[in-house]
Structure 1
Amino acid sequence: MTPSLPRLVRIPLLFVGAAALTVVAVGVVLAAPPLTGRAQAAVPPDDPRPPVVVALGDSAASGEGAGDYEPGTRGEGGNHCHRSPAAYVHRTTLAGRGVNLACSGADTAQVGTGGGVRYTERSQTARLTDVARRDRVVAVTVQVGANDEPDLSGTAVACIRAFLHPLEPGCRTSVGPTWAARLAAVGPRIEGVVRDVRAAMAAAGYVDTDYALVLLSYAAPGSEAMPAWHGVQGCPYSRPDARWARTEAFPALAAAIGTAAAHTGARFLDLTRVAEGREACTGAVRDEWQRRLSVDPAALVAGTLGAAGMRLFQESFHPTAAAHTAIAGCLSEFVPAGGSRAACVPARDGRVHPEVEA
């Protein structure tokens, strides 16, 4: 059953100058009570350290598929975190600089504290403390959960397998019945990451109202609006499966992430509809905001791509550089507006803007 969508109201566009940014840094999450339980002094508003925005999370935040990757994350020494200069954290107007700690393939354990190593890198929240001591962190974004129980990559493979083998059930049938249970399992893990972020920031001398903490959901990559007789290259999945993903699977995942935000006092920005009308295979490639499948679908399903091929597959069905720019613009409006939750929705001006529930 498709979740009902709330009525949305546009947040007015705010032009944020240096003075307004100071307000963001010290008071944007007044509705969120401190979770540390310890008395601390707030970071002084005249803190001379340079303001930064920090992104934590998986490939959706790192910029997988958005273009070239930063040196040191292209595979050197085994590091395939694939952090792109085009990632949204580098394109917001919330601070002079973005710091991208996200890593392709990371799950909640690897983003949180004590979860081991991902591509040679230690916990993202542990490194957040280092950044917060060096710089003045005004906002932290967290986009995680896709690589835990929801297993979006595995779900995509199930959809592709069904398209290549028409006698097999579609992924809406093979995966759909387990979706609610998967989301129920990942919700507490995401809440744990938020608590780890709060603890990491507290260890650097911050209280919760010193910075904005925003959980983000994931943009639906495909749509049933693609041509009826499309081939196996680019978007090898059926239109009914694409409709299920767009109208049920991704909205339900967003709802689970939104619930985790509500339970922990974080703010929530729903990205489900960011690429609406610009999904993979719905128009000219140059106009799409989601990457198409980048590998041979038969080899993917057969498991014969090898390690290099699977890393190339990771780029598939991820936001393009244009999409990251749109997300950054929406995030830049949402944070200073001060609301607890909103959805990034395409508008007539060609951009996406945050709209809040009425």
Structure 2
Amino acid sequence: MVRVGLRVRTVIGHGPAPSYRRGPAAEAAGAARVAELENRSVISVTRRPGPVPDVLRSARGAGGQRKRSGRAGTDGQVRGPQVRARRVRPRSGAATTACPTQPYAVVRRALYRPLGAHAGPRRAAAPCGADLPDSVTGSPNPADTSRTWRRDALPVSDHFRCAPAHSRTQGGKSMKIRHGAAWFGSALLIAAAAVPAGAAGRADSARPAAETTAAPSTSPTVKAEAPAAPDRRAAAPPVTGGGPQTITFSEFPVGTPMGNQYHLRGIAFSGAGGGGTPFISNDAANPGAPVLSGTPQFQGAIQGQFIKPGGKPRTVGQFGLTVGYINEPNSVVVTAHDLQGKEIARKSVDRTGIVPVVLKVKGIASFRVQPTAGEPAGFAIDNVSYFQPEVLVGLGDSYSSGEANPPYVKGTEVKTGNGCHRSLNAWPVRLAKGNKVVKRAKHYACSGALTGALYGKFKTEEAQLKMVGKLTGNDEPGVVTISMGGNDLGFAEVIEACVKPWQKCLGDQGAVAAAKQRLPVLSARLKGHYEAVQKAAPNATVLVVGYPRLFPETEKEEDCSWLSEAERVELNALGAQVNSVLAARATEAGVHFVDVQNSTDNHEICTDNVSWFWGIARGDQQEAHPVLEGQKAIEATVRAYLDKLAAPTA
């Protein structure tokens, strides 16, 4: 039988020995501490050549500093020995006991126990080289071949002890117990030598309570026997962009009060029934901890509210969660409520243990979990699951369809289709990619559409709101964007009149004046249009998107021979006035307005820089519309607004 152990040789330093200059009192304290640690067999300091810190030098007696061992480098300096590990082959049949024999080495204790067995209380290590029974070392009994052994996962402080390293044969194979990283042991020694005796316990008092106190439990029969780890479950990866959601409460540290931290994922938490703010807690009775506890701990009621980006309420068709640990059936109830707060569904937790609960009913805006009878150790919730809408719907006219960005979606071309000119490079389609709120787009905008296209057929297509109403289930809209109104004012005719010298652009009878006269009529109807969009997609965030500025802000920037200074000023003023009306009516309707007027700044039509618009003099429906760079600029502005809207609030 051949047993293979591992001897770790560690020497502090690489290159010239560092200087650790201390006063006589510190050196004396360090020497006393080293002697104490040696006596307790926590570490072993061997009098072998090697660089010695000044703080330890007084422990060596009056011999002074010995010659530094090492090798010379190419630059002539002496290099300190490196951290090495080498295998040691003991005599066959002999049990191996390896204690630290190199300067300032600390051996990592390797502990084994039977699978499924309880680790039991920790005991102090016996002096190095002593005959240590398995009950103390936690090492396998070589005579016991009836059980399978595994290595424990222990706190770092439990691993670093001076204890024998065993090697045994099991099933004809050599099982090796290896020591831990030597560099960590060396660092630990230096820290220990610099700390006065009796000061080691102060470190624990500075640790967070979640690490030093026993884990609370929602079961009176389950007691924690070790300090609770702050997070017993690995943090779940962030889930963004809508779709199925499961909140595990492992994304934030234990002790975190919960409010709008999951805002981006469409849910907010609060206390209910007089209870305080819920918080993340460990639970010794729940293997899935951390969990969400009410306030007081495991006794307070918990409320969850489903929200849109921006915090406005929304509804779901069903949700699920786990409740526990339940010791008394029917002592806790889960209720669902509509937007008015009326209870619309109820489920009593009628089993013991960690109990899954699912409520399915149309129009759930919030839920509550609260005790109804005596639950001895209380309860907590976990794994809150629901569906967050993941579809962005793009409505509107040519400034949303992607006009001027061929090729167009089949069936929307002019020659072979209806002329809606829907492009895959349109900013609403681009916005749905890599988004924090949604994942995919449904694009219904159509070039040339008036606001009437929301309710009736336009260019052979169904009413845009009718198409929105058909989106249910996984296709339910989470965000709806709309840019509309320019065609109601005859904006295409205005541009044409100002380009062609034989048509009248300005003056009382000009095209600009005619558009301004139509604006009050449009303004009076816009609020109702936006409310209709919200009604068609009640759980969606509605974004009314304005129009970009078409011409340079100043005469100095403008470089068009066909555009007079007066025409440039009047056209830009008309565009700004339209955007102001859209913004005001959106606010009245309770939806959002996104101002993209400056998105194409310095790249307008007739600018000295490269224009991001299709040329006006080309004589087709694509003129005066943003090309790809313009679409990207508008998308970036809307994306920034939506991201800010979805960000967690205080």
TM-score of the aligned structures, taking structure 1 as reference length: 0.70
Which residue of 2 is the match for residue 215 of structure 1?
Answer: 544
The partner residue of 2:470 within 130, 133, 140 is 130
**Partners in 1 of 2:542 and 2:638 — Cα distance?**
12
The partner residue of 1:196 within 504, 528, 532 is 532
What does the per-residue CA deviation read over 1:219-261, in whole Å, with 9 as the maximum and x for residues that have no partner?
A: 1222254777744xxxx43232122212x11110001101110
What does the per-residue CA deviation read over 1:63-122, in whole Å, with 9 as the maximum and x for residues that have no partner?
A: 001232111211366411100111111222242212211000110011x22x2x212101
Distance 1:41 1:293, change over 3 A: same
Aligned residues of 2:396 and 2:484 also touching (Cα < 8 A): yes
1:28 aligns with 2:309: yes
Which residue of 2 is the match for residue 243 of structure 1?
Answer: 569
Superposed displacement of residue 188, structure 1: 2.6
Residues 78-157 of structure 1: pairs in structure 2 closer than 5 A: 78-92=417-431, 93=435, 94-110=437-453, 112-113=454-455, 115=456, 117-148=457-488, 150-157=489-496
Distance 1:279 1:172, change over 3 A: farther
**Partners in 2 of 1:280 and 1:134 — Cα distance?**
41
**Partners in 2 of 1:288 and 1:229 — Cα distance?**
11
1:325 aligns with 2:632: yes
Residues 20-99 of structure 1: pairs in structure 2 closer than 5 A: 21-23=264-266, 26-30=307-311, 41-42=363-364, 46-48=385-387, 51-75=390-414, 78-92=417-431, 93=435, 94-99=437-442
Which residue of 1 is the match for residue 621 of structure 2?
Answer: 314
**Partners in 1 of 2:364 and 2:411 — Cα distance?**
35
Q: Which amino acid aligns with 1:290?
A: F
Aligned residues of 2:498 and 2:563 also touching (Cα < 8 A): yes
What does the per-residue CA deviation read over 1:30-70, in whole Å, with 9 as the maximum and x for residues that have no partner?
A: 46999xx9996158995558711111000000000123211
Distance 1:144 1:42, change over 3 A: farther
Aligned residues of 1:29 and 1:211 also touching (Cα < 8 A): no
**Partners in 1 of 2:467 and 2:474 — Cα distance?**
11
Aligned residues of 2:239 and 2:265 also touching (Cα < 8 A): no
What does the per-residue CA deviation read over 1:253-304, in whole Å, with 9 as the maximum and x for residues that have no partner?
A: 00110111012111101122221110022135xx3222211525xxxxxxxx
More strand by share: 2
Answer with 16-25 or 94-103: which moved more.
Answer: 16-25
Q: Which amino acid aligns with 1:171?
A: L
Q: What secondary structure does 2:593 align onto?
A: strand
Instruction: Name stretches of at least 5 consecutive residues in structure 2 with no aligned partner.
Output: 1-237, 242-261, 268-305, 316-338, 343-361, 367-383
Aligned residues of 1:155 and 1:171 also touching (Cα < 8 A): no
How many residues matched? 285
Aligned residues of 2:498 and 2:504 also touching (Cα < 8 A): no
Aligned residues of 2:494 and 2:515 also touching (Cα < 8 A): no
CA RMSD of aligned residues (A): 3.2
Superposed displacement of residue 23, structure 1: 2.9
Which residue of 2 is the match for residue 159 of structure 1?
Answer: 498
Aligned residues of 1:31 and 1:265 also touching (Cα < 8 A): no
Which residue of 1 is the match for residue 118 of structure 2?
Answer: none
**Partners in 2 of 1:228 and 1:143 — Cα distance?**
27
Percent identity between matched residues is 22
Q: What secondary structure does 1:131 align onto?
A: coil
**Partners in 2 of 1:43 and 1:58 — Cα distance?**
33
Q: What secondary structure does 1:27 align onto?
A: coil
Compare relative contact order (CA 8 Å, sep 6+) and give the higher one, 1 or 2: 1
Q: What secondary structure does 1:215 align onto?
A: strand
Distance 1:180 1:85, change over 3 A: same
Which residue of 1 is the match for residue 579 of structure 2?
Answer: 254
Q: What secondary structure does 1:55 align onto?
A: strand
**Partners in 2 of 1:184 and 1:171 — Cα distance?**
19
Distance 1:239 1:291, change over 3 A: farther
Which residue of 2 is the match for residue 8 of structure 1?
Answer: none
Aligned residues of 2:402 and 2:422 also touching (Cα < 8 A): yes
**Partners in 2 of 1:280 and 1:142 — Cα distance?**
23
Q: Which amino acid aligns with 1:28?
A: P
Superposed displacement of residue 132, structure 1: 4.0
Aligned residues of 1:16 and 1:336 also touching (Cα < 8 A): no
TM-score of the aligned structures, taking structure 2 as reference length: 0.40
Instruction: Name stretches of at least 5 consecutive residues in structure 1 with no aligned partner.
Output: 1-14, 202-206, 297-312, 340-358
Q: What secondary structure does 1:91 align onto?
A: helix
Q: What secondary structure does 2:618 align onto?
A: coil
Residues 270-285 of structure 1: pairs in structure 2 closer than 5 A: 270-283=595-608
More helix by share: 1
Q: Which amino acid aligns with 2:462?
A: R
Distance 1:172 1:66, change over 3 A: farther
Distance 1:32 1:22, change over 3 A: closer
Q: What secondary structure does 1:289 align onto?
A: coil
Which residue of 1 is the match for residue 523 of structure 2?
Answer: 187
Aligned residues of 1:155 and 1:175 also touching (Cα < 8 A): yes
